[in-house]
Chains A and B, each alone.
Chain A
Amino acid sequence: MNGNRSKEETKPSSEAFFWVLFSAGGVVAALLIPIHLLLLLLAIPLGWVQPPSYDHLMSLLHMPLVRLYLFVLCALPLFHWAHRFRFTLYDGLKVKHLNEIIFVICYGGAVVGTLAAAYLLWRVP
């Protein structure tokens, strides 16, 4: 590890930044996504549990803390996806020659999703 490092190795790399987003998103996704999916997208619509009223859900959505929470819940896992999916395409499909376009599609998608989350949470009536 130490010894002679080339200049490329020592200069701060944007990869590290993306990796931090990836792992933060991985933690958020691991802890929060399963219960959200199980509860809001399966159990409540399918009547496995007594569904909460629309007013109750809206009162939750009105709380600034809940909106901040939902923003983190959406934004970080999207960057997690972008990083993982990028390398899955590189390694799994061996499409290294499409590096740039895959990079733009993955992180561009994550940025668009994050902006959409910010907009949707901001315009909650």
Chain B
Amino acid sequence: MPAGNAGTVKSAPQYTKYHPRWYRPRVSVYWWLGEWHYLKFILRELSSVFVAICVVETLLLIRALSNGVEAYASFVHTLRNPLVVLLNIISLFFVVFHSVTWFNLAPSAMPVRMGGKRVPDVLVAAPSYGAWLMISAFIAWVVLQ
């Protein structure tokens, strides 16, 4: 069986009980604050929290609609509360950040090749943006007509 380097290293502890101490420097809990790339990563991951908040608000909206005209009116009134508006505007920033990073990731996750050449990332991501725009326009049309 052709074993790579990784295999050799993995099987090494079978021969000796001596184990050198790992070199593992301690990393601060705030490791992601120092550099923009790390911060961007954490912000991207945190966008999922705002996705979940939007789902919960959508469920509350469905509940209010089911409970009748007054319940819906009072829910809309709650949505006008400045704190809720602030939360929703921050959420909008994060969910759009999620969309953009998600679409931009697709070319790396699924590199498309055509005629032996890799299709430029922009061309792979473009259809996602197109679909995003069209679906959004369609939903707006259905809800607002």
Contact = CB atoms under 8 A, between A and B. Distances in A.
A4 B1 CA distance: 7
5 contacts: A26-B98, A29-B95, A29-B102, A30-B102, A36-B54
A3 B66 contact: no
Interface string B82-101: 00010011011001101100
Interface in B1-19: 1-4, 6-7, 10
A93 B29 contact: yes
A33 interface: yes
Contacts of B88: 37, 41-42
B27 interface: yes
B48 interface: yes
Interface residues of A, number: 55
Interface residues of B, number: 55
A105 interface: no
Interface string B107-135: 00000000000000000000010011001
Given A33-B51, A34-B99, A88-B46, A42 B85 contact: yes
B92 A38 contact: yes
A31 to B, nearest CB: 5
A41 B144 contact: no
A42 B96 CA distance: 14
Contact of A3 (B2, B62, B65, B85): B2
B139 to A, nearest CB: 5
A20 interface: no
Contacts of A92: 32, 42, 45
